[in-house]
Amino acid sequence: MSTRLRLFVLWVGAVGLGLLIAIAIWRLPGFGHYPGPYGDMLNSLAPYERQVTNVVTAINFDYRALDTLGEEFILFAAVSGLVLLLRGKRGESAGEPPNPPDERALVPRSDALRWASLGFIAVINLFGSYMVLHGHLTPGGGFQGGAILGIASILVYVAFDYRSYRKTTPKEWIEVVEAIGAGSYALVGLGAIFAGGAFLQNVLPLGERGHLFSGGTIPLINFAVGLEVAAGFALLFLEFLEETRTPKPEDIES
C-alpha cells in the first residue's frame, strides 16, 4: 500500500471515528458527575461485606477475581512469549558479562551511582513488600507492589556489575517463583470449590476491618499476584539485558 493511499484511508477512518467520539462525548454526563450505580454500590457494600478498607483491591481480587485471573494470565503469557522470543538461540551461561555495544566502551560506575542505588535497593524492597502486603488496607496491591519489587532486581546491576546481578537474580528461581505466583491464584480459586463454595469465592473468615489479617482470600490472592508480577518484571529485565551478550559458538544450538 502506498503512503498516499495509506494516509487517505487513515483520514477517512479518523474523521469518522472523530465524529463518533465527539457525539459520544456530547452525550456523556459532565466531568465530575459520576452517575453510578455500580461503583457507589460497591463503595457502600464492600467495606462491610468483605471487611477491607481498599475497595479497589476488593473488586480486583474478590468481586471480579475471575477477570483479574485472566489479566494475570495475559501477563504470564506475555512474559513467557518474550522469553521464548529472546532466549531462542542465545546462550544461557551466567558467568559471561555482557559485551558492550560495538562503539561504546563499558564505563566504570561512579561512586555516587553505586551508593545511591545501594541505598535504593533496601528502600525499594521494603516499600514494594509494604505495597503488596497492605494491598487490602492502603493504596497499592499486588500489581503495584510487584512492579516496584521487580525494579529492585535491576538496581543490583546498576550498583555493582553483571556477575552480582546474575547471582542475586537466579533465572531458574525467578521462573519458578513466577509460575508459583500464577498457579497459586488459580489454586486459591480451586480451594474455594473444595471448601464448598464457587470458584474464587471468598470462603475464609473475614476478620476485622483495618487489620493485616482481614478480607479472607483477598490478601492471599494479592500476595500471589505480587509474586507473579515481581518475578515477571525481573525476568523481563534479565532477558533484555541478556540481549547485549554476544553468544559464544558453543552456546548456539543447531
Partner 1 sequence: MSHLPFAVAGWLFLVALYAIVTSRNLIQMIVCLAVMQSSTYLLILSVGYRTGGVAPIFVQSEAPPGTPAVDPVGHALVLTDIVVGATVMALLLALAVQVHKRRGTLDPHALRPMHD
Positions in the binding site for partner 1 (CB under 8 A): 3, 6-7, 10, 14, 17-18, 21-22, 25-26, 28, 30-34, 36, 38-40, 42-44, 46-48, 53-56, 59-60, 64, 68, 71-72, 74-75, 78-79, 81-82, 85-86, 88, 138-139, 141, 143-144, 146-147, 209-210, 229, 232-233, 236, 239-240, 243
Least CB distance from residue 21 to partner 1, whole Å? 4
CA distance 57 to 144: 11
Residue 25 grid cell:
462525548
CA–CA separation, 206 and 214 (whole Å): 5
Shortest Å, Cβ 27 to partner 1? 10
CA 155/CA 89 separation, integer angstroms:
27
Residues 145, 133: Cα–Cα separation, whole Å: 8
CA 223 to the chain's CA centroid: 12
Burial of 229 (0-12, 13-18, 19+ CB in 10 A): buried
User: Which is closer to partner 1, CB of 163 or CB of 248?
Assistant: 248
Smallest gap from residue 249 Cβ to partner 1 (A): 17
Instruction: Look at residue 128 and give its three-state secondary structure.
Output: helix
Q: Which residue has the cell 468483605?
A: 50
Minimum CB distance to partner 1 smaller for 136 or for 166: 136
Taking the complex as a whole, the smallest distance from the CB of residue 30 to partner 1 amounts, in Å, to: 4
Judged by beta carbon, residue 53 or residue 153, the one nearer partner 1 is: 53
Residue 16 vs 119, nearer CB to partner 1: 16
CB of 194 to partner 1, least distance (A): 27
The DSSP string of 136-152 is TTSS--HHHHHHHHHHH
138, 66, 36, 209: CA torsion to nearest 10:
-30
Measured from the CB of residue 20, what is the shortest distance to partner 1 in angstroms?
A: 9
Which is nearer to partner 1, 78 or 252 (by Cβ)? Answer: 78
Nearer to partner 1, 114 or 247 (CB): 247
